[in-house]
Structure formats: structure tokens, C-alpha cells
Structure 1
């Protein structure tokens, strides 16, 4: 006989499959399909229980928990059962159907609709949003809600009635806050060792070490604003001193030279972010460059320890050139603002010859177009030439202005040929120089015919004001 063997009944009965199908509205489920589904469900249960028992053994427990079953579901890539964690006690209720074995079901809590309607609705969570904010500015974290609050150190061994304890009053009756004030004063000024090394009376070795630190030390970022303010205040206080003579004047000029060295060193330091402080760099540079009191009528013998006014203006113009070269791309209006200030110092009436010398050196630092605009378009050349004539009549020294105007270096080993009055081309070049720059400058430039002719062509291309 070839009859099929009767399938062996499993633990999970086919009747349970039929009951579930009836609850879902499926009434025509055959017995063979129910037996097949019951066998598959039993296999899946064995698989989950076996996997969960591994987690029980690895946890060194003898009782299987719901967390073991959840881990088994995750291992088998099955969605876990939510709401039945180990922290939620389950309450089962026994139900006896009219026919068949008893059924155990979870006892649900009865909810009154009137109570639910009276309760406040659960707010809908806000959606995820993204916004930009400053995490830190110059190493300082802004106090905004997006950033974590600053850490407040805990005060150990604080008495219970510490709120009633007040610091002892001072002689004038106010409470003392000397430690806090002392700390604030120490932070609000540059390091004392650095300042003491940057004075004219300091040793050259200490001065060199301090400037080297300013050129390469990245740890100066916290005190950079205070160093900048110290330089600005030092330049202002030095230039305000009037009636100085002899050694005191020389000492002040050496101080100004050191302040320029400090600014130059800060600009050379690639580890410092100096852009926010450029507006504090320019006033001391331009003050030294354009202050007329730096000009001394009598000739001076400049030495390394006694910088002359022309040396200070040359130094300040070189610092200005470095500043513009490094930061003009970041701030396009920087060069135009500086040029406007220098042009006003060059052409305004009543300016001293030392101020005009500084303006010339500053325009040279800005660039070729600034020099052309100042000397030719604004007629600065004529103004400087007339001032030089009056200064010579008064016996004043004009070598600083002459050096500032000699922007065309002489070629070593090649003799200079002056303009020839008998040559029509040379005579036309001399006339163009005289009309554009004045007789004094024209005679000085005319000592080099090649340079004079090239400048004459530039003057002819520039429309001079009538």
C-alpha cells in the first residue's frame, strides 16, 4: 500500500492556526495548510528559543529573560517585540473557552474615554533642524545656548552658612576683591618680561630674544590685543612729549623704533591671527610716518643707537608696505584708505616738510599708482619742490625729502649723463619735468637723462590739473 504516512502532531497545534485565521477573517483555511503553518511556526519558535538560550548561557544565568529573546530576534534579523521589556511586568489572565483548553491572554487596562479627553494632549516633538553658530572666536567660546556652559569649579569644604560669610572690609568700608583685581590687571597687559626687554635701556640680547618670540610664538594669541594696545599707547605718549632736547629726544626716537620692530614682528608671525587688529596697527604706523615733530632742522649724524627722523619714517614705511602686501587681498579698501590719508598729508597747505617726507615714503610703500597720483595728478611734486626751496633759504636740512624722492637707484659702474640743453628732446623733457614736478625736483632728476626722459613721458600721459 502506497498511502502517505500520517504527519506526526507537533507541540504547536493546527487548531491555533485555524483560530488565528478566524480572527483575521479567513474561514476557508484547509487542514493541510494549517498543519504546514503549524510546523513552520514550531520550527521558528525552536530557532528563536535556541538562539535566546545562547545569550542566557553567555550571561551566566539559568532563567531566560525577554532581553535574551530580543537579542535573538536581532541576531535572526527579525523585528523585536516592543513593549515587553524586562522592566515591564506582564500580567496574564486565564480565559476558558466553551470548548478546548484554556487560553492565557494579557490583561489590558481599561481606559475611560472621558478621562482621556480631559488630559492635556501630548505635544508633537519638533523636527530636526540645523543652524550655524560660532563654536569659538579667537579661542573664546561664546555664551550662547548652542554651546555647553562653562565649567564652574566646585568649592570644597564650604561651610553650610557660607552665604552669611562676607570678606573683611577694607579701610574705606568696601569689601576687598584684591585677588580678582590683581588677576584682571595681569591679564589686561602684556607680559612684564616682554615689556621690560623692549625698552631702549634693555640689553641687545634680551631685545633680540623678545622680538624673536614675537615673530614665531603662537602662545601670544591671548595677549595679542594687549600688546597692540601697549604699542599704540606708547607711540601716542612718546609723540605727545614736547620740549625735549638732547638725550631725551634720542631716547624717544629709539622707543619709536622699537615699537615699529614690535609691529613688524607681529606681522611676520604666521601663527597669529592679526586681521582683527589691523585697525590698531595703522594709527601708530601713520603717526610716526606723518608727525612733523620728528623733523629736526639741524643735520643729524644717524647711528644705530640714535635713529634719525628719516630712519624712523623709512622704517614705518617698510612696516606699512608689509601690512598692505599681506592683507590688501583680504581688505580691498585698505590701500585706498591709506592712500587718501597720505595724499591729504602731501598736498594740504601748511604741512611741515617732515610730514610731506613721510607722505612720500608712505605713497612709495603703497605702490606706483599711488606715487603717480600724489606727485603728478595731485600736484604734490610742485608743492614739495616749493617747500624745499623755502627750507633751503631758511637753512634747514632737506636731505630726508631728497632721499625719499630718489626712488630710481643709480646703476653702479655706469656714469650718469645729464640732460643736454642743446638737444630738443632733452629740452622738452626738462620742460615737462619743470611743469609737473617743479624746478627743484626737475634739476635733481635731470642729472640722469634716461630716467628724466622716462618720467617726462609719464608726465605727458597724465592729465595735469589746470
Structure 2
């Protein structure tokens, strides 16, 4: 509390004798003499003015015209005085003015608080949790499990580097210092000795990863569409799947082999959706597993029969979807080293030259070439257009053929009429009229 000194009326902020006595009464000090009160008032007034002047300087340096509590805190710190804690209100200080009996006082009005309301208030913060220890495996048989507590797994660039350059580990070892190389060699010797003493195969997946693999594979091929969508979304965006990637690719490959024999169209679609999810995951590098994925996708494109009722079931959608996946693989992973697109194009184009190729497989080969781009269409389809037209003409003119073959011939015709006009602008030998004549003659 502060009061104006009687000897200096109007001096705002000057502590008087009465203010010192009132403060002493609040602190249970009632025997303060007038001389002591006057000396204390002068000293307090001087120190408060110094703090206010420094606070004003901080406000001016902050380009403000109003002094706030942070300026006062900075001024106290500048003088090595402990700052005030708990006064961070942006409003003005809630002091009230009162006068009477020849005294003018400024005091802070204290409100009465009902403890029952405070205890039952909904805004009461929750009690902090007890301190606890959590144990996790940093390494299991020399293999680090992929869990949140451990460092993150390999990035996609590191996976790419290991895939392209298998001798990268040897290069890193050659860059080590002599003492580090010696330790590495000793470690290898110990591992070799351990393998000779005890023959065992370590499982690279932790228990959590094995459980995740089981749940994700069951959900992807299960009957629950909501659960399947969640599983595919996890395969698309989860960054820690590189350790399970070999098993997922093997699961897809084996699943296609079994379900093609059983003509299970639904499960083949689900497995191709898993391939699509893995291809869309930007954290994975699939080049090391193309030897499993490409034959799997090609099987769904050119297989003779994918369902039990080829004349009724819409297996054409699966062939088109697998063709788009094959195009995505060629676009993302084709290099001058592996020549993925060249080898796939040659395989599909050579299939078109086989006379005994089933019409469903013939449609798949045409669909795969159409999805590989305009240049492939112009080079491999346009020069075979007359042969394709002659082949499908037989199925339109012969009445004793199966409905499935006639449906395949009609789908081939519609596919070529849809796709080829896009590439005829760059072909000097054919035009739209010639293509329409060849196909519509059927």
C-alpha cells in the first residue's frame, strides 16, 4: 500500500510515514517509531523510483508507451533483485483508493473464495502421473527392433544406396580407422565362431512386428472393407515397413499363385491393392523386390482365367488395374541397368504374336502395352493393328465360339478405339480413318 506524504501533497508514488506504519501493522510490527518510519519511507521511495525509471526505459526500448509487469521484472533483474512471480496480468493492477480521517490509502481488495467451488470446478487440472520406468529391447540377437524408443529405421535413400551398391558396407569398413577395423574383424570372428558352435536362425522381426504382419495381412484379404481400408492406408503411409517388406512381397506373390489356380477374383483384387499401397509408400524402396512383384502383376494381366465365370465376372477391371500398376513400376524403377520397361514391353509384344494365345490373355497384353505410353503404342501396337483386327474379326464372324472369347474380342476393340487415337497424331503411316476402318470392319 502506498499513501501520499502529508508534507508533500500531490507527490504521486511517494511513500509516507503512515504507509510504512500500515505495512508494519500487516506484518505484525507495531512498534515502529516516526523517525524509523520516515527513514524507511525515503529509502523505499528512492528505490521504487529507480525501478520505475528503469522499467520505463525497458518499455521505451520495446517501443511501447505503457509499462507492463515484464518491464518491472527486467528492471528488478537488472538490479540483482528477485523478480515478482505470479503477476502477469495484462490489466491494470487492481488497487482501490480510499480516503478518510485525513489519510489517503491504496489497497488491494481481496475477494473471498469458496473452497468447495474450487474443489468441484471442472477446470481443475489432472494430477500428474507417478514417475515410472519403462523397459524396452534395444537389440535382440544383434538386431535392432523397429519401435518408437529406438532410433528410426533406414531412410529410403539408404535403402536405395544399399540396393544399387551392394559393396557399400565394404566401402564403409575401408574408411574406418585401423583400430575400428580391428574391432570389426574381431566382432566378425566372434560371430563366425558362435555360428559354428550353435546353429540357429534369428528372426529379424520383433514380436510386435510379427503381430503387425499377421494383422495387416489378415485385414488386407479379409471380408471387412473398413478394416481393409485402414490396413491399406497403413501400408501406404507407415514409414517403418522396410524390415517387413520381403515378407509382404512374398505374401503377395504366394497369394497370387494360389488364387490364380483357384480362380478367386476377389482375393486377386485385394492383393493388387496391396501392391498399389506399397508402390505409393514414399518411404519404401522396392527395387530389390521387383523379381517378385513384376511376375505377380503380369500374372493378373495375361493369365488365361482369373475367375470361375469369365463371361459374367468383370475380370477386365482387374487386368486394367494390374496394367496401370505395371506402368507405375516401369516409370518408377526403370534404369539403364535393369531395363525393366524394355523387358516388359518385349514380353507383352511377343505374346501378341502367338497364334494360340487365349483371347483373355490377348486382351491383357494389349492393355499392358496401352498403359506404357504413347511411344510404346505407336511402336508395338500400330504395326500389329491389322493382325489384331484379323484375329478379332474371326471371333465376330464365327458363331460357335464361346461367349467369353467374343466378349474378349469386343473389349479389345473398344480398348483400341479408346487409346489409339491419342497416338495417331505422331504416326506418319496411319490416321484415325484407317484405324476406324480396320476395327469397325469387324
TM-score (norm 1): 0.46
Whichever structure has more helix as a proportion of its residues is 2
Bigger Rg, structure 1 or 2: 1
